[in-house]
Structure 1
Amino acid sequence: MDIQTQMQINVPVHKAYEAFVNPEEISGFWFSHSSERWETGKTITLKYAEYNAELDIEIVHIEENRLIQFTWGNHPVDIHFEENDNGVIVTTIEQDFDKTEVEQLLGQKEGWVYMLSCLKAYLEYNVKIRAALL
């Protein structure tokens, strides 16, 4: 089972894409730290300072301004960028969940909705709300 989440972000597609791959931008909406620029084949260390948590992701494939594919634990993740007249639709798809793991599915869906909401606030209004979730 996959978890898909979408949000309209009213900025140019390159600005939304750059927010993910640029370590100086990602702390504005998602992780407190990213070890380096996201590029195909790299292992990236991500940190949540407020949760004292750290994890590595493997960047599988990147198409500039279109697609980011990485592995997050045992789950492949795709982030799609679809340009439209108002900006870009950002779609996250986290794959390979057991449909009986309802709590995990709900928790992951909540996380993706929150991350995309933080991205929208950061890019459209320059407001950083990422560390507000308890």
Structure 2
Amino acid sequence: MSLGFKVSGRIAKPVADVFDAVVNPTKLSGYFTTIKGASAPLVAGTTVTWWGDIPVEVDEVVPQRRIVLRWDGGGADAKPSYRTRIEMNFEPLEDGATFVTIAEEGWREDEAGRKRSYLNCEGWSQMLACMKAYLEHGINLRDGYYRSELKGEPAREDNL
């Protein structure tokens, strides 16, 4: 069994707007991949980069329904390297809002895997909160949020 988690949140915007805020690199860079942005739209079968140097493999994109991604799960220290799987689901609600669920799984059951899974759970929770603020109010909550940003250092994986 591998480690995994699931986070969810309601965003008071139509599913088309919320989905676009993830697949559109300009929008994603406005609230989540704020340092060095996202390199390209999420299209199934492609690899994009987030934060300038983190490869994200796009396995599946079902418009306004689901996105499935894979990326490095273990970091530079993991031998051999391995990928975790991220699934984002977008559910339209009766009031016109969208319920977003993000699940990530596939870490090794060791101390390093637990630590990375906790960091990513924190990161995806922040992503949902930042997306909500950005879409509902035009606010970028991540601007200046991390110490590395304050010092002008490059983004790090644990700053997701």
Which digits, 9 at most, give the CA deviation of each residue in 1:41-60, with x for residues without a partner? 1110111xxxxx62111100
- Residue 106 of structure 1 and its aligned partner are, at CA, apart by 2.1
State the match for 1:54 in structure 2: 53
Q: Structure 2, unaligned stretches of length 5 or more?
A: 73-82, 147-160
Is residue 2:105 matched to residue 1:95? yes
Cα distance between partner residues in 1 of 2:117 and 2:59:
23
The one-letter amino acid of 1:11's match is K
| Residues 31-110 of structure 1: pairs in structure 2 closer than 5 A | 31-32=33-34, 33-47=37-51, 54-73=53-72, 74-86=83-95, 87-101=97-111, 102-110=114-122
Q: Structure 1, unaligned stretches of length 5 or more?
A: 48-52
Larger radius of gyration: 2
* SS, match of residue 140 in structure 2: coil
- TM-score normalised to the size of structure 2? 0.75
How many residue pairs match? The answer is 129
CA RMSD of aligned residues (A): 1.4
Percent identity between matched residues is 27
State the match for 1:30 in structure 2: 32
State the match for 1:50 in structure 2: none
- TM-score normalised to the size of structure 1? 0.89
The one-letter amino acid of 2:102's match is T
- Residue 105 of structure 1 and its aligned partner are, at CA, apart by 2.7
Cα distance between partner residues in 2 of 1:66 and 1:132:
32
State the match for 1:128 in structure 2: 140
